[in-house]
Structure 1
Amino acid sequence: MNNLETQCITTLRMLAVDAVEKANSGHPGLPLGCAAIAHTIWSRFLQHNPSNPKWVNRDRFILSAGHGSALLYALLHTYGYDLSLEELKNFRQWHSKTPGHPEYGETPGVEATTGPLGQGFAMGVGMAIAERYLASRFNKDDCNIIDHYVYALVSDGDLMEGVTAEAASLAGHLELSKLIYLYDDNSISIDGSTDITFTENVEQRFLAYNWHVIHVNDGNNCDMIADAINQAKEQNKPTIIIVKTHIGYGSPKQDTAGVHGSPLGSEAIASTREKFSWPDSSFFIPEEVKEEMLKIRESCAQQEQKWDEKWQIYAQKYPEDAKKLSMMLQRKLPENWSEGITNIFGKEESMATRSASGKAVNFIAERLEQFFGGSADLAASNKTDIKSSGDFSAQEAGRNVRFGIREHAMGSIVNGMSLHQGVIAFSATFLAFADYMRPAIRLAALMKTPSIFVFTHDSIALGEDGPTHQPVEQLMSLRLIPQLQVMRPADAIETGVMWREAVNSSLPSALCFTRQNLPVLNEYRLVIEKSAVKGGYTLCGANDPRIILIATGSEISLALETKKQLDNEGIPCRVVSMPCWEFFEQQSPEYREEVLPVNVPKISIEAGSTLGWHKFVGSSGATIGLDTFGASAPWKIAYEKLGFNVENVMSCVKKLLK
């Protein structure tokens, strides 16, 4: 390793250490131990342009071990991204671009929000899937216009998390050769030596997953790391490079848990500076390092310039493909692409909304070839197969992704696909299993990435499978996640509207569908097509009601049945359909008051937790729901026994109107 390279690496180390020390908070151990790994990737391999962080053919670098964020910020600053030295000094402070863990959208050059361990590992798999799909669709024999790698720096903690096992298994099965992960094997976790919890043979584990495995015995040897990456690029499967490192390298706390998540302290920093022969000056960057980084930035700009030249040739030879790819990468949809989406259901009198969703999936897939995804081994139940396409496999880049029974990783992988850009990605499973996916759904909302999560079998109407599979609290728990759009349509027509909004949205969506058949509300088609997009609207009923029934999904049918009886008894009733709380709450106060006037008694009806409904029915209103678990029985019996019937709703109405 030459002296200049040593200085570059030490610069990264000490910038990170100084940022942590100034904040009096953070993790200096990983930056000290992994700076040479990161510098080797960034200086010798990474295809990127700091002047254009969104260059479409850039390599992706993910710091899955997000607690080491100070290292990533040091990289971004020294390589010329729009991240000032002042921002490094504001590490972990209010409104800085250097938050405690990397946050997508907050800091230029951060490819994914990481920190919850294993999530970055899994999102990288999704990025590699998107890269392969786009390359397969648009590359030509004479021009590879999409051709880039996904690098990730992963930790012991990442490998311990279950989501990583699922993601690694699928990546190996799919032979995603553009994945190159470097494992920071430092033998230390927060509680001490990894021997107390983590003694598995990582090499054998990943060989079993069908990964290529390479060992590097010295995490400070850039040439050895570079040789390993070059070997990885020759493989037809994903590669994990196990790099032996020393956490807190060069500090008095090296190889101890004490350097994992606490600042070094002034005495230890002084000792570390002495070890590296570094000036006693915080946030110091040598002039020769600045000059070297400038040369690398110029080289990075040339990389994109060469690709731009290739793109011009591609656009001239293949203008239609170039136009389509450009639109897909910018998430621009064809004009009027969704026209007719509510008319694809024919004259059916009844249809499960999962079946309506299946028709919508294929309607969308016919019009948007960037739309793809799949199910956790439940495609026949979730109705998510794209009939016009094959499977995404090691041999073929079709649009049906067989995720297998890997819900934890599935959500994260879909996030990675969405983050990559160029695709509109969805996943599917039963609503009860949203709990397996919650960390990924939460990250999608935090990142504001437009992942689409499809959930079927959305209530106790799942029936005989019983309470283990019958969602009760899941729907409401999803509504608790900020920036997630939770949609539960009442029939096939509302399903078409909700799918359209999910595809058009820049935020993540959770679409919840029934197993059982529901009436198709053709008599209300015009009002649904016009108003369902508002999230809550008057489906039918009196302009001056004495009672308002608010419902979602399958319970709209119950509300309509109840309204008939109320009409017979001369009680003016309004039925409000509320397929999406989030859409309704975005409407003007005047509109919301028009739909739900304050002075009219209200009852909510939903086959799930009643938590939260009082903000719509008010303190004097009533809620009909389920705050216990369900029971194994045919769905109609379960509904009847648990109070989802006209008699119970009528009883509730009479009590309110006394």
Structure 2
Amino acid sequence: MSNIDTLSVNSLRVLAADAVQKANSGHPGLPLGAAAMAYELWANHMNHNPKDPKWSNRDRFVLSGGHGSALLYSLLHLFGYGNLSTKDLASFRQLDSLTPGHPEYGHTVGVEATTGPLGAGMAMAVGMAMAEAHLAAKFNKEGYPVVDHYTFALGGDGCMMEGISYESMSLAGTLGLGKLIVLYDSNKISIEGNTDIAFREDVAKRFEAFGFQTLVVEDGNNLEEISAAIKAAKADTTRPALITVKTKIGFGSPREGMASAHGEPLGADNVKALKEKLGFPVDKDFYVPEEVYQHIEEINKKSEKAEAEWNQMFAQYVKAYPELKELWDKYHDENIGEDLLENQEFWAFPDKPEATRNLSGMVINRIKDLVPGFVGGSADLSPSTKTYMKDEGDFSKEDYSGRNLHFGVRELAMTGIGNGLALHGGLKPFVSTFFVFSDYVKPMARLSAIMGLPTTFVLTHDSIGVGEDGPTHEPIEQLAMLRSMPNFTVFRPADATETIAGWYYAITSKKTPTALVLTRQNLPQYAGSSKEALKGGYVIAPSKKEVPDAIIIASGSEVEISVKAKEELKKEGIDVRVVSMPSTDLFDMQSKEYKEKVLPKNVRARVAVEAAADFGWGKYVGLDGATVTMKSFGASAPAGELFKKFGFTTENVVATVKSVL
């Protein structure tokens, strides 16, 4: 290691240690142990330009072990991303700082993904690598590799213990994602001590079984050895690579190799001892030798040159293939799809009873012709979730141009990968499974919401209507779970118009993920349904009176029995308004005037009807209202029998309305 390289690596270590100590909170162990591999990667093996952080052909770097964020912020500072200063490093983990406890996408320039839940970054890296492979297959021409970059993920023992990393890496190996390189910070320490207490497997052999090239760096401080491993990983273009880098947690500090180095500040005396050992002044915080900044500046000039050469090639590509430039612009157009609001063909539907999952499948096959970057698939369920795009091919190791993605039975990884696809840019992804398995989806859907990614979730078999499969497959509490999440839109349509509206909202959303919750059973089409579904709630069956006697609020399949109940109540001289509420999230965003128009405050006789838990309906029905909802898990029987058993009948809705009058 040359002197300037030594100074650069140790500068990263000192900056990270000072940041954690100043905050009196954080994780110094990973930054101290992994600084050498991170420096070698960023300085000599990654194509990235700090002056253009969003350069489309940049290599992506995902810190899956997000607790080691002090390392990432130190890298961003040294390399000049977003002018992140030592003052920002000194504000580590403080309110409104650019250096929060875990990296946050869209908050700090240069952060490619929000990480924190261990292993999540691994899945997102797989998604990014899949996006690169797909776009390369769509756009590259001989002599014009306009999409040609690597995805690097750095994670530790905790990431490797989490199931999501193995789900996603199994798929990466199956797909032969040769431009995915995983750096495994193997220090054999976790919070509770040596990893032998719970984790003794040979990680490399497991990755080898997945189809990875596996490499080992015995000395995590040996830059030459690290460099050779990265070069070898790049040389094999047919397999993703795992580079196991053996490190010492808390390297250079008195806590080196100790579990206490993982998640707590080193302490002032130990930081002083670290600086003394590394040859840094002990009386200066956040100190970086000037020659290190100059060295990084020279590296950045090479990075700028790499992008300039790419820009020149792309300009020639545009002249040679103007039709592909037009397609490129469509792939990268954030506003694509907005004109579909007035597209009559898009809003057309068969006028017959139909399951909303089938109607969704119809819409998917319209969108794929109108939005070229639209890609997606399911967790081995596309025949049931109706998410297969006709004539678009399957994304596979043999053909990355296919738009149908097969995730296998891996719901958690599927969602993390979907996030990676969205983060990469150029694609509008959707993922799909049965609604009950949103329990597996939710942790990564939460990250979608935090990052503001417009990923679409197609969740079918939405209620006890699943029937014979029984309570394990009948979602009860999942609607409440997803509705409770900030910046996440749940849309449960009642018919074709509402299903199309849900898809229109999803495909045009820019910063919010959308869950389309769809039926297995056929539903009728309603004369009163309209594009007002985009407001989340609207009057689908009006009353004759300006002020109705009562209001029934329903979503999805329960709109049908609500409309029938209205007709029965009419025979008894009770005038009821039926409000379809496909999305409480969107309804809550409307003006006070609109909400008052739909749900006037002076009508206190209200009943909510939904084949799910009643949690959340109280704010719409009030203290004087009632609900027809599930109070238990479901059962195994034909759907019709279950709806009767649990009270989802016209007669019960009628009786419930009468009870609140």
Structure 1 and Structure 2 fold alike (TM over 0.5): yes
Whole-Å separation in 1 of the counterparts to 2:165 and 2:556: 35
Contact 1:341 1:496 in 2 (8 A): no
- Counterpart of 1:103, as a letter, is E
**What percentage of aligned pairs have identical amino acids?**
49
Secondary structure of the residue aligned to 1:55 is: coil
Where do 1:246-645 residues align within 5 Å? 246-280=248-282, 281-333=284-336, 336-337=339-340, 339-340=343-344, 343-347=347-351, 349-397=352-400, 398-506=402-510, 507-521=512-526, 523-525=527-529, 528-529=530-531, 531-542=532-543, 543-600=546-603, 601-645=605-649
Query: Deviation digits for residues 222-273 of structure 1, max 9, x if unmatched?
Result: 1111111111111111100001000000001000101000101011111111
Contact 1:602 1:622 in 2 (8 A): yes
Quote the offset at 1:340 in angstroms: 3.1
Alignment correspondent of 2:203:
202
Secondary structure of the residue aligned to 2:623 is: coil
Query: Deviation digits for residues 438-469 of structure 1, max 9, x if unmatched?
Result: 11000000000111111000000000000000
Contact 1:374 1:401 in 2 (8 A): yes
Query: Deviation digits for residues 19-57 of structure 1, max 9, x if unmatched?
Result: 000000000010100000000110001111111111111
Whole-Å separation in 1 of the counterparts to 2:42 and 2:198: 32
- Counterpart of 1:239, as a letter, is A
- Counterpart of 2:309, as a letter, is K
Q: 1:335 to 1:102 in 2, by over 3 A?
A: closer
Contact 1:341 1:500 in 2 (8 A): no
Q: Any unmatched runs of 5+ in structure 1?
A: none
- Aligned residues: CA RMSD: 1.0
Alignment correspondent of 2:81:
81
Contact 2:59 2:150 in 1 (8 A): yes
Whole-Å separation in 1 of the counterparts to 2:329 and 2:657: 56
- Counterpart of 1:258, as a letter, is S
Whole-Å separation in 2 of the counterparts to 1:185 and 1:309: 41
- Counterpart of 1:624, as a letter, is V
Secondary structure of the residue aligned to 1:549 is: strand
Quote the offset at 1:524 in angstroms: 2.3
Quote the offset at 1:332 in angstroms: 3.5
Contact 2:27 2:67 in 1 (8 A): yes
Quote the offset at 1:305 in angstroms: 1.2
Alignment correspondent of 1:653:
657
Quote the offset at 1:647 in angstroms: 1.2
Query: Deviation digits for residues 128-165 of structure 1, max 9, x if unmatched?
Result: 11111111001111201011000011110001001111
Quote the offset at 1:315 in angstroms: 1.1
Whole-Å separation in 1 of the counterparts to 2:189 and 2:304: 38
Quote the offset at 1:343 in angstroms: 3.7
Q: Any unmatched runs of 5+ in structure 2?
A: none
Secondary structure of the residue aligned to 1:567 is: helix
Alignment correspondent of 1:172:
173
- Counterpart of 1:641, as a letter, is K
Quote the offset at 1:74 in angstroms: 0.2
Where do 1:146-161 residues align within 5 Å? 146-161=147-162
Query: Deviation digits for residues 360-408 of structure 1, max 9, x if unmatched?
Result: 1101011112101101111100000001211100001201111110011
Quote the offset at 1:326 in angstroms: 2.7
Whole-Å separation in 1 of the counterparts to 2:577 and 2:337: 38
Quote the offset at 1:335 in angstroms: 6.2
Whole-Å separation in 2 of the counterparts to 1:513 and 1:215: 47
Contact 1:341 1:497 in 2 (8 A): no
Whole-Å separation in 2 of the counterparts to 1:334 and 1:31: 43
Q: 1:475 to 1:317 in 2, by over 3 A?
A: same
Whole-Å separation in 2 of the counterparts to 1:463 and 1:341: 34
Alignment correspondent of 1:238:
240
Quote the offset at 1:512 in angstroms: 0.4
Alignment correspondent of 2:40:
40
Q: 1:341 to 1:155 in 2, by over 3 A?
A: farther
Contact 1:342 1:492 in 2 (8 A): no
Contact 2:335 2:508 in 1 (8 A): no
Whole-Å separation in 1 of the counterparts to 2:583 and 2:423: 24
Alignment correspondent of 2:99:
98
Whole-Å separation in 1 of the counterparts to 2:322 and 2:584: 43
Quote the offset at 1:12 in angstroms: 0.3
- Counterpart of 1:22, as a letter, is K
Query: Deviation digits for residues 82-131 of structure 1, max 9, x if unmatched?
Result: 11221100000000010000010110000000010010000000001111
Whole-Å separation in 1 of the counterparts to 2:330 and 2:75: 31
Alignment correspondent of 1:115:
116
Contact 1:342 1:493 in 2 (8 A): no
Contact 1:541 1:572 in 2 (8 A): no
- Counterpart of 1:323, as a letter, is E
- Counterpart of 2:29, as a letter, is G
Whole-Å separation in 2 of the counterparts to 1:473 and 1:68: 35
Quote the offset at 1:424 in angstroms: 0.5
Quote the offset at 1:329 in angstroms: 2.3
- Counterpart of 2:358, as a letter, is S
Whole-Å separation in 2 of the counterparts to 1:49 and 1:142: 23
Contact 1:344 1:359 in 2 (8 A): no
Whole-Å separation in 2 of the counterparts to 1:114 and 1:341: 41
What is the TM-score with the length of structure 1 in the denominator?
0.98
Whole-Å separation in 2 of the counterparts to 1:620 and 1:150: 56
Quote the offset at 1:345 in angstroms: 2.3
Whole-Å separation in 2 of the counterparts to 1:545 and 1:237: 66
Where do 1:131-142 residues align within 5 Å? 131-142=132-143
Q: Which 10-residue stretch deviates more, 298-307 or 105-114?
A: 298-307
Alignment correspondent of 1:229:
230
Quote the offset at 1:325 in angstroms: 1.1
Secondary structure of the residue aligned to 2:99 is: coil
Contact 1:558 1:645 in 2 (8 A): yes
Whole-Å separation in 1 of the counterparts to 2:143 and 2:298: 31
Whole-Å separation in 2 of the counterparts to 1:556 and 1:283: 62
